[in-house]
């Protein structure tokens, strides 16, 4: 899982795919897997890892196969809007691939393979509750991943945050921006702020949780592979 990289990677992907991709589609794809599962993962599941990433459970929602299904559904609902469909597919796929890095992994090859793939860089911490999950993530190599994603965005894709990029690349691809502006009576500056909002959400989440975990609560860093050491070893379901 990621607490901020999902937010940052969208802008890097936008730079890569440019006018072929709807940013709003990328946003829906990036949010999709956790929107379907995360609330119950924290507040209701007996086995959070199995429910969130495995089977039986809803682990299939974090997969490339589900990315195809979501993109096909988007293409149908939008009556053939290719940029939206591509955006949903790319955003959903990036989320699934990113989630492979923790010890729970992700069912990326569903429905052809029903076992999660895991790189195991840091311990999956959702079983600790939301706060415990944040402590585990921002004390481990998860923190390094979010930091690296932010650095790559600011170095290689910073232009995607500019007004010029929004007006010349993002907005012309997707008529939904005009609808949003009219529907909510938003001036151009507000629309630009809305576009940049997901980046600032990720940035403030990264900074605030890092401060809370380390400066306020005093948890130490453990940047070894499979960290942090105080989280119980992950047991496959």
Please, are residues 136 and 122 in contact by the beta-carbon 8 Å criterion? yes
The predicted structure's pLDDT at residue 237: 54
How far apart are the C-alpha atoms of 132 and 135, rounded to whole Å? Answer: 5
Dihedral angle computed from the Cα positions of residues 133, 134, 138 and 140, in that order, rounded to the nearest 10 degrees: 0
Asked if the model's pLDDT at residue 38 lies above 80, the reply is yes
Q: Which two tokens stand for residue 185?
A: 């009576």
* pLDDT per position as a tens digit, 107-164: 999 999 999 999 999 999 988 889 999 999 999 999 999 999 999 999 999 999 999 9
The predicted structure's pLDDT at residue 103: 93
The predicted structure's pLDDT at residue 178: 96
The predicted structure's pLDDT at residue 37: 92
In sequence order, the β-bridge partners of residue 102 are: 122
Residue 224's alpha-carbon distances to 62, 162, 165, 196, in angstroms, are: 26, 36, 39, 33
The predicted structure's pLDDT at residue 234: 65
**Alpha-carbon 142 to chain mean position:** 13
For the chain, the average pLDDT equals 94
The predicted structure's pLDDT at residue 236: 57
How far apart are the C-alpha atoms of 171 and 165, rounded to whole Å? Answer: 9
Q: From 98, 86, 12, 26, select the one nearest 62 (Cα to Cα).
A: 98
* pLDDT per position as a tens digit, 64-109: 999 999 999 999 999 999 999 999 999 999 999 999 999 999 999 9
Range with lowest mean pLDDT among 2-11, 62-71, 164-173: 2-11
């Amino acid at each position: 899982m990621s607490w901020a990289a999902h937010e940052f990677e969208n802008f890097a992907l936008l730079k890569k795919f440019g006018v072929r991709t709807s940013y709003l589609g990328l946003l829906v794809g990036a949010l999709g897997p956790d929107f379907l599962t995360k609330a119950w993962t924290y507040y209701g599941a007996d086995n959070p890892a199995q429910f969130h990433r495995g089977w039986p459970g809803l682990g299939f929602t974090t997969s490339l196969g589900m990315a195809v299904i979501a993109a096909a559904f988007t293409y149908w609902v939008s009556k053939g809007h290719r940029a939206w469909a591509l955006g949903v597919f790319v955003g959903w796929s990036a989320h699934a691939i990113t989630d492979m890095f923790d010890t729970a992994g992700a069912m990326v090859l569903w429905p052809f393979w029903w076992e999660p793939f895991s790189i195991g860089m840091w311990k999956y911490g959702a079983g600790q509750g939301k706060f415990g999950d944040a402590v585990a993530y921002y004390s481990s190599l998860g923190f390094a991943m979010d930091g690296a994603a932010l650095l790559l965005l600011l170095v290689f894709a910073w232009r995607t945050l500019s007004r010029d990029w929004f007006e010349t690349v993002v907005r012309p691809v997707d008529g939904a921006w005009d609808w949003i502006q009219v529907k909510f009576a938003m001036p151009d500056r507000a629309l630009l702020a809305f576009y940049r909002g997901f980046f600032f959400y990720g940035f403030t989440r990264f900074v605030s949780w890092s401060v809370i975990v380390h400066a306020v609560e005093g948890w130490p860093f453990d940047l070894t592979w499979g960290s942090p050491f105080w989280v119980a070893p992950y047991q496959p379901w």
